[in-house]
Amino acid sequence: MNAEEYLEQVKNIDLRIRSLEGELNDSQAEEDTEYAEELRDRIAASIRTYKELKLRIRDEIQQIKDNRLSTLLTEFYIRGKSWEDVTAALGMRSVKNVREGLHKKALEAFEKKFQNNFQNTTS
């Protein structure tokens, strides 16, 4: 796993939760209470995992000394903001420069500092 895949885990768990919530709505409409209960349990477990991972990754990001890089990683990976919103939060004008240049620097800084945290991790 590389730095980007490690950070993307937050977004991926959020997608899983949303999907499960959609499935729960369907099961409630069909009045399948047993299946709905199982889905509620899975959603709760996914939310716990999501919160723990999000807090851990947020703490790691905040240890990056360059405020621009840590802000970029927080806004994009933790807060789920678009590249346009990240660019605005950084007070910059070029989305392309943020997405391609600064993002690469931020990932490199994160990987340099925390590579041992995610090298043997699976999503």
41 lies in which domain range? 3-118
In a domain, 14, yes or no: yes
Is 81 part of any domain? yes
For residue 123, is it within any domain? Answer: no
Distance, in Å, from the CA atom of 94 to the CA atom of 15, rounded to the nearest integer, reads 28
Distance CA 84, CA 35 (A): 40
pLDDT at 119: 66
Question: Domain count of the chain?
Answer: 1
The whole-angstrom separation of Cα 72 and Cα 56 is 17
pLDDT in tens, 95-120: 999 999 999 999 999 999 988 777 65
Q: Is residue 24 in some structural domain?
A: yes
> Which segments of the chain does DSSP mark as H helices, in order?
3-29, 33-62, 67-73, 83-89, 95-96, 103-118
62 is a domain residue = yes
- Give the rounded percent of residues in the chain with a pLDDT score beyond 70: 96
Q: How far is it, in rounded angstroms, from Cα 54 to Cα 13?
A: 10
pLDDT tens, 8-51?
A: 999 899 899 999 999 998 888 888 889 999 999 999 999 999 99
Task: Find out whether 93 and 73 touch, Cβ atoms under 8 Å.
Answer: no
